[in-house]
Amino acid sequence: MKLATKMIHAGMEPDPSTGSVMIPIYQTSTYVQEAPGKNKGYEYARSQNPTRFALEEAFAIIENGKYGLAFSSGVAATDAVIKLLSPGDEVIAANDMYGGTYRLFTKVFEKFGVVFKCVDTTNVENIVNVISAKTKLVWLETPTNPLMNITDIAAVAAITKVHGCLLCVDNTFASPYLQNPLDLGADIVMHSATKYLGGHSDVIQGCLVMNDTALRDQLYFIQKSCGAVPGPQDCFLVLRGIKTLHVRMQRHCENGIKIAHWLRNNPKVAKVYWPGFEDSKGYAIAKQQMRGFGGMISFELKDDSIAEVNRVLSSTHLFSLAESLGGVESLINHPATMTHASIPREERIKNGLSDGLIRLSVGIEDADDLIEDLNKAIG
């Protein structure tokens, strides 16, 4: 089945009790049992909920996987993956990734004895150099948040296969419309469904998709034991979001191309981070593993003084100054003080995330209006 058809039909079966086309929001905590142990497969809503199950099925279908699991946030999904590990186990992670992932790894899990080694994964050799018998997981983000670095998923999968460790890819920035890591050899795909999957800035949610049944059973066990499940209303919203993912992503990509080039040609802009430029470092791999370049763009101004950066950040009208991304409306963000403030400054600078970096989540408004808004702010 082609992508557009999958997005609309994934997980959708008419409700058996009424024929309702949309899966109802099963707003219930528990289910009546006929006799002790005799039930319809639904006992308690932390473990089973039909609205959530429909969404989990949709997650699996759109990521070309067998199983999907929904979580109450993206970080809750990441948390579940790390709970597969034991003290002493090592994780190799990207040195440029979502600030909340970095915080979860270093501030929460390090004290339980899980060891995190952050390397520049855009050079696969760096992974080869630190991988050992203790490595149980490689955690990738591509494109990365916020520097849009690209890592070759298939090349990393070839390494993790040889070492018998898991590869999990945070696919939030690309969305399943642009990239499917399981097809490239990853074991688990993670999404912050808060972003492109939900698509309307109205829900916090996360998901995992995988093919291996034993891995699915372990992660389902963690999901129900730790309890970070999304409510049925949120599941309904994300299911609805997925139905338009392909049309939204097409427009995000079109607007992204126009705005990236406009920024690059602007004399006040020093550097634009976007994987669609033919001379960008990750272009060849991005072209190979993605079907487009998305709507996330970061840039630096030539005058990167705090005053000027703050002035631009506060001068846009269509681009709202806010954290998050992937919604229909455009957002502007200052990673150093907002989304990535949890990464120590020294660490950030070392990895190329400057104090002046500005990140855009280009929405699906008219591109000319968006450019005019940026032009007034930067100009």
Ligand X SMILES: *Cc1c(COP(=O)(O)O)cnc(C)c1O
Choose the binding region for ligand X from 3-11, 95-103, 108-116, 310-318 (rule: CB under 6 A): 95-103
Q: Which is nearer to ligand X, 194 or 330 (CB)?
A: 194
Which is catalytic among the residues 67, 98, 177, 273?
Answer: 98
Runs of H (alpha helix) within 227-264: 232-243, 245-264
Q: Nearest 5°: phi and psi at 358?
A: -120, 135
Q: Which is nearer to ligand X, 262 or 299 (CB)?
A: 299
Q: Which is nearer to ligand X, 57 or 170 (CB)?
A: 170
Give the end-to-end CA distance of the chain in Å, rounded to a whole number.
Answer: 46
Closest CA to 228 of 79, 23, 58, 33: 79
Cβ–Cβ under 8 Å, residues 333 and 310: no
Contacts of range 242-247, beta carbons closer than 8 Å, 24 or more positions apart? 242/7, 242/10, 242/58, 242/62, 242/197, 243/7, 243/8, 244/7, 244/199, 245/7, 245/62, 245/175, 245/176, 245/177, 245/196, 245/197, 245/199, 246/3, 246/4, 246/7, 246/177, 247/4
* H/E stretch holding 376: helix 367-378
3-state secondary structure of 123: coil
Q: Which is nearer to ligand X, 90 or 170 (CB)?
A: 170
Quote the CA–CA distance of 78 and 304 in Å, as a whole number.
Answer: 34
Q: How far is the CB of 225 from ligand X (least distance, A)?
A: 19
The verdict on whether 224 is a catalytic residue reads no
Quote the CA–CA distance of 262 and 147 in Å, as a whole number.
Answer: 18
Q: Of 53, 67, 98, 109, which lies in the binding site for ligand X, with binding defined by CB under 6 A?
A: 98
Q: Of 11, 68, 74, 176, which lies in the binding site for ligand X, with binding defined by CB under 6 A?
A: 74
The verdict on whether 98 is a catalytic residue reads yes
289 token code pair: 């593993």
Q: Of 11, 65, 68, 100, which lies in the binding site for ligand X, with binding defined by CB under 6 A?
A: 100
**Could you tell me which residues come within 8 angstroms of residue 339 by beta carbon, excluding any fewer than 6 positions away?**
98, 99, 100, 145, 146, 323, 333, 359
Q: Which amino acid, 146? A: P
Which is catalytic among the residues 6, 52, 136, 195?
Answer: 195
Which is catalytic among the residues 96, 152, 170, 234?
Answer: 170
Q: Which is nearer to ligand X, 50 or 143 (CB)?
A: 143
Q: How far is the CB of 171 from ligand X (least distance, A)?
A: 9
Q: Of 95, 135, 142, 145, which lies in the binding site for ligand X, with binding defined by CB under 6 A?
A: 145
Q: How far is the CB of 87 from ligand X (least distance, A)?
A: 24
Q: How far is the CB of 166 from ligand X (least distance, A)?
A: 17
2 to 41: interface string for ligand X, x by CB under 6 A: ----------------------------------------
Choose the binding region for ligand X from 58-66, 97-105, 242-250, 258-266 (rule: CB under 6 A): 97-105
330 token code pair: 């455009």
Quote the CA–CA distance of 61 and 314 in Å, as a whole number.
Answer: 41
The verdict on whether 79 is a catalytic residue reads no
Choose the binding region for ligand X from 96-104, 120-128, 158-166, 294-302 (rule: CB under 6 A): 96-104
Which is catalytic among the residues 42, 46, 183, 268?
Answer: 46
Q: Which is nearer to ligand X, 51 or 73 (CB)?
A: 73
DSSP per-residue letters across 50-95: HHHHHHHHHHHHHTT-SEEEEESSHHHHHHHHHTT--TT-EEEEES
371 token code pair: 């450019």
102 to 141: interface string for ligand X, x by CB under 6 A: ---------------------------------------x
The verdict on whether 216 is a catalytic residue reads no
| Binding to ligand X in span 158-217, by CB under 6 A | 170, 172-173, 192, 194-195, 204, 206
Footprint on this chain of ligand X (rule: CB under 6 A): 73-75, 98, 100-101, 141, 145, 170, 172-173, 192, 194-195, 204, 206
User: Catalytic residues, which ones?
Assistant: 46, 98, 170, 195
